[in-house]
Amino acid sequence: MISSMGHIMKKPKELKVKPIKNGTVIDHITANKSLNVLNILGLPSEKIKVTVAMNMQSSHMGSKDIVKIENRELESSEVDQIALIAPKATINIVRDYEIVGKGKVHLLNEVKGLLDCPNPNCITNALEPVVNRFYVIEKEPVILRCHYCERIMEEEEIESQF
């Protein structure tokens, strides 16, 4: 049972996601993929403040997710992984409430050391593994081909790794 808090809530005039003071805003994430982005970033993590907004209206994407992380910047390997699941994502660096840097994620023609090959017999899954390496066959939706065993990997298998 939910007990009454004893007051009637008024309808707020406007309810927006709060700006952050310092940190990173990942905007234009493919709708409903923000939890994959959090996994890539190793979040949630103790003491790191994170705001997640899902299925927000977007003029050019229809709907999108947004992730705001306070006092944290991203590593390039993290940005490369985000590109695999949210190819339209923008990375905004915020300092003292101002955007001091804005960039787009970019998927290169080759993806190295970021994903496991699903083929158990692939040399990258051997006891003394070789660093995984895939060619980008298709960018949207992403389709990859393993450099070693030629196994094709599509969106669903890529997303399941994050």
Residues that bind ligand CTP (CB under 6 A): 19-20, 25, 27, 66, 68, 90, 92, 94, 97, 99
Q: Does 29 bind Zn ion (CB under 5 A)?
A: no
Two tokens at 66?
């947004």
Residue 119's binding partner among Zn ion, ligand CTP, none (Cβ under 5 to 8 angstroms by kind) is Zn ion
Contacts of 51 (CB under 8 A, 6+ apart): 17, 18, 20, 66, 67, 68
Q: Does 38 bind Zn ion (CB under 5 A)?
A: no
Residue 145's binding partner among ligand CTP, Zn ion, none (Cβ under 5 to 8 angstroms by kind) is none
Paired residues of 94 in beta bridges: 23, 99
How far apart CA 41 and CA 43 sit, in angstroms, is: 5
CB-based closest residue to ligand CTP: 19
How far apart CA 1 and CA 32 sit, in angstroms, is: 31
Residue 54's binding partner among Zn ion, ligand CTP, none (Cβ under 5 to 8 angstroms by kind) is none
User: Among 146, 153, 158, 162, which residue interacts with Zn ion (rule: CB under 5 A)?
Assistant: 146
User: Among 117, 142, 144, 158, which residue interacts with Zn ion (rule: CB under 5 A)?
Assistant: 117
Closest among 73, 36, 71 to 52, alpha carbons compared:
36
Residue 27's binding partner among Zn ion, ligand CTP, none (Cβ under 5 to 8 angstroms by kind) is ligand CTP
Paired residues of 66 in beta bridges: 53
